[in-house]
Structure 1
Amino acid sequence: MSSRTVLIMMFAGLALAGCEKRVKAPDVLGACYFVGYPAAGGLKFNKLSDNEPDLEHCAVRLYNARMDLMATRTAGEQTIGAYNGMFLFASGREVRYSRNYEGPAFPLLVKAPDGRLVAPGAVVQQEAPPSGPVTVDVPDNLPKMPSDGKK
């Protein structure tokens, strides 16, 4: 095969890859959806609720729907939903979000030790204060101040 034919085939492949249709989430203001997978194939957006004030409330509603599915043993590894054009991916430990169904997803809410869903980094584990005196050794390599040698 000539190099010209190879180049033409490469450009044709790139053009076809660019035409691949991406899944889009419904962009209905305030509507929260659960993604189902009908036997005929594809995705089906089932409405969970209307008038959700923000992405976090929809994420909690999707997480609760996942817990109901877990009780009936019909949940998979993750439960997928949508809100205002964004995709939500709920698992047992967190809810992630993404603009694309196929792309990377970022943490939105994580499960705290007490079972609540909170923003990542919101729960800080408090360490118990030391019971006795705390001593700190002075490093040997500290720079000397001019006043260090004077008394």
Structure 2
Amino acid sequence: MNRISLIAASVLALAAAACSSSTRAPTEPGVCHHVVQDGEEVRFNVLAEDVESIEFCAARLEEMRLNFLRLGGSTSEVMGAYQGQFIFIQREGVYFGQTLEGGRFFALARTGDGRLAIPGVIQREPAPEAAD
């Protein structure tokens, strides 16, 4: 039994160490940040202030991404942060996460024309009914 207890304690210690080294987002109320990761260094640049919600911050990051592309840039993925949450703008849509290195959950999907929408709101036109 001691060996199993030792292994369990080691696993818990490693998990706790991994959690403590996770990069956390700034928690300033209403401030939307653009996140730049250069190797081990992570910089938080203020993109907008007085932003109502994380979805509006994601929209501002998407706007910034599109402006960079129009200027000839090639960055297709952008990271941001809003009130302690990370925002990941990717080709498929937008993901949110508690830490930079941790898990992410799907928040906004891209519509057929590239806009962002809440996944449950997107409605597809029904297939035409077959004639009898």
Bin of the TM-score, shorter chain as denominator length: 0.7 to 0.9
SS of residue in 1 equivalent to 2:126: coil
Residue type matched to 1:121 in 2? G
Q: TM-score w.r.t. structure 2 length?
A: 0.78
Aligned position for 2:88: 89
Deviation readout 1:124-149 (Å, 9 max, x if unpaired):
2112442523xxxxxxxxxxxxxxxx
Whether the 8 Å CA contact 1:81–1:88 is kept in 2: the answer is: yes
Whether the 8 Å CA contact 2:25–2:82 is kept in 1: the answer is: yes
Deviation, 1:113, is: 1.1
Distance in 2, matches of 1:116 and 1:22, equals 31
Q: Where in structure 2 are the equivalents of 1:1-151 lying within 5 Å? A: 11=10, 15=13, 18-19=16-17, 20-38=20-38, 41-71=40-70, 72-75=72-75, 78-130=77-129, 132-133=131-132
Whether the 8 Å CA contact 1:35–1:82 is kept in 2: the answer is: yes
Q: Which runs of 5+ in 2 are unaligned?
A: none
Distance in 1, matches of 2:128 and 2:15, equals 59
Which deviates the most, 80-89 or 98-107?
Answer: 98-107
Distance 1:14 1:107, change over 3 A: closer
Which structure is larger by alpha-carbon Rg, 1 or 2? 1
Q: Which runs of 5+ in 1 are unaligned?
A: 134-151
The answer to which structure, 1 or 2, has the higher relative contact order (CA under 8 A, 6+ apart) is: 2
Whether the 8 Å CA contact 1:63–1:95 is kept in 2: the answer is: no
Distance in 1, matches of 2:46 and 2:66, equals 17
Question: How many residues align structurally?
Answer: 125
Deviation, 1:103, is: 1.4
Higher helix share: 2
Deviation, 1:14, is: 6.1
Whether the 8 Å CA contact 2:22–2:102 is kept in 1: the answer is: no
Distance 1:127 1:46, change over 3 A: same
Deviation readout 1:15-35 (Å, 9 max, x if unpaired):
466334210100011100001
Deviation readout 1:53-72 (Å, 9 max, x if unpaired):
01110011111112223333
